[in-house]
Structure 1
Amino acid sequence: MTRKTARAERADATRERILSAAERLFAEHGLFAVSNRQVSEAAGQGNNAAVGYHFGTKTDLVRAIVRRHNDDIEQRRLGLVESVGESTEVRDWVACMVRPTTEHLADLDVPAWYSRFCAQVMTDPGFRSIMVEESLGAPSLHRALAGLNRCLPDMPADVRAERFDMVRQLMVHIPAERERALDEGTTTPRATWYEAATGLIDAITGLWLAPVSAPRSATSRAGDGEHA
């Protein structure tokens, strides 16, 4: 029994080294440019097939990295959603979307790579669906989005979809830029992750509450030199 436990602990340690190495390499170089063999070597594994043995395909490895972080983020968001209750304030629901992630990032050691890893995944057509499924499909996030939607009942569906795309870009790339700056030791606009989250919440709240321009006719657009 003791021998089996020790073996299981060694396997767990190996998996953690592989996950950490993969997260860093993917963040720095992108997913396409990094092979499973490179990940195994960076994790200090003499067997170049270690990634395949412990995780399977690169897709399985990417999913494991996302889940490694998402469990904590999900628990943080569930608690925040519960505390917000039935709020009718847009800012409260935006905070539910932003702060759980930034709090998680604040607890990671520096240098960290998860935000940059997420940015790489979201811009890779072959792997983006994993992040969408694992992160954007989280139950707590759906509850936060439902609360947000209740605050904006009159927003047209197409405008809502457009602004959610804008919000997603901010939520992915602004933390990644801060993470990069912290790694490089350069100045950041905000001193802490909490303050950075506050600025991001301000911006996203303003985006959701921005006026919606009435659509113009095809004739008026053509008159301005635009194509219908």
Structure 2
Amino acid sequence: MSETVDTRGTRAKLIDVAERLFAEFGVESVSLRTVGIEAGQRNNSAAQYHFGSKDGLITAIIEVRSADVDARRARLVAALRASAAPPTVPQLIDLLVVPLVETITASGERTWYLRFLANVMDHPMLDAPWRPRSDGADAAGPPDPPGLRYMHRELRRLLPGLPDAEFERRLRWQGMTAFRLLADYERQRATTDAAPPAEQVVADLNAMLTALLQAPHPAA
């Protein structure tokens, strides 16, 4: 029993430290050995032992951190489904933005997750973390979040005039914009007292992403 608890504690410590280091210095600049040393492990190969590789560690961080995000997103989806009115584009964008902003503000403590995601979003082993996977359950990375599948499907229904390639491009830009800007907001909250309130960040980002998705297209 104690061995299992110790193992879980070690994994959690390695995940916390790796998330911070990847957020601060980038994925390529941080080795598994460095993660083990910074986590206070006497065995410098501890991260490799627990996660197998840097890709495995990245996936573990996302799986742990995304659990609350996916649960919150599922509750927002349930509220939209329960409404008599169909969802609007801004409401669907909130499915992406609101749970992410809450990871920064909910605990009142310093966070690293959005900066971590911004640094790993272009990692070759990882599908874009803001959208559902299109290549099936065997793809690398964490499971396909159902809340994002719902967002993707409903946005496609609301924007029928966009060609598929244009819709996919705008969806990608939406995610890239959200992650980069929220990473900057997370950094701002950690380093200054001048960060705007979360409600303003959500409203401003939503307005920006709504304009991006609904911008006229010649094919329409």
TM over 0.5: yes
CA 1:214–1:140: 2 relative to 1, 3 Å? closer
Q: CA deviation at 1:24?
A: 0.6
Q: CA deviation at 1:146?
A: 0.8
Structure 1's unaligned 5+ residue stretches are 216-228
Off by >6 Å, runs of 4+ in structure 1: none
Counterpart check, 1:119 vs 2:118: yes
Q: CA deviation at 1:213?
A: 3.4
Counterpart check, 1:191 vs 2:190: no
Counterpart check, 1:40 vs 2:45: no
Aligned positions of 1:23-172 closer than 5 A:
23-85=19-81, 87-124=86-123, 126-129=124-127, 131=129, 134=141, 137-172=144-179
Structure 1 CA distance for aligned equivalents of residues 71 and 105 of structure 2: 15
Kindly, what percent of the aligned residue pairs are identical? Answer: 29
Counterpart check, 1:210 vs 2:220: no
Structure 2 CA distance for aligned equivalents of residues 128 and 60 of structure 1: 11
CA 1:11–1:69: 2 relative to 1, 3 Å? same
Q: CA deviation at 1:10?
A: 1.6
Q: CA deviation at 1:135?
A: 6.5
CA RMSD of aligned residues (A): 2.1
Q: CA deviation at 1:76?
A: 0.7
CA 1:73–1:172: 2 relative to 1, 3 Å? same
Moved more, 206-215 or 81-90: 206-215
Higher helix fraction: Structure 1 or Structure 2? 1
Structure 2's unaligned 5+ residue stretches are 134-140
CA 1:22–1:108: 2 relative to 1, 3 Å? farther
Please tell me the residue identity of whatever aligns with 2:95.
Answer: C
Contact 1:70 1:135 in 2 (8 A): no
Contact 1:40 1:49 in 2 (8 A): yes
Q: CA deviation at 1:109?
A: 5.0
Q: CA deviation at 1:186?
A: 5.3
Structure 2 CA distance for aligned equivalents of residues 107 and 99 of structure 1: 11
Please tell me the residue identity of whatever aligns with 1:210.
Answer: A
> In structure 2, what is the equivalent of residue 180 of structure 1?
187
Structure 1 CA distance for aligned equivalents of residues 142 and 11 of structure 2: 21
Q: CA deviation at 1:123?
A: 2.9
Please tell me the residue identity of whatever aligns with 1:129.
Answer: D
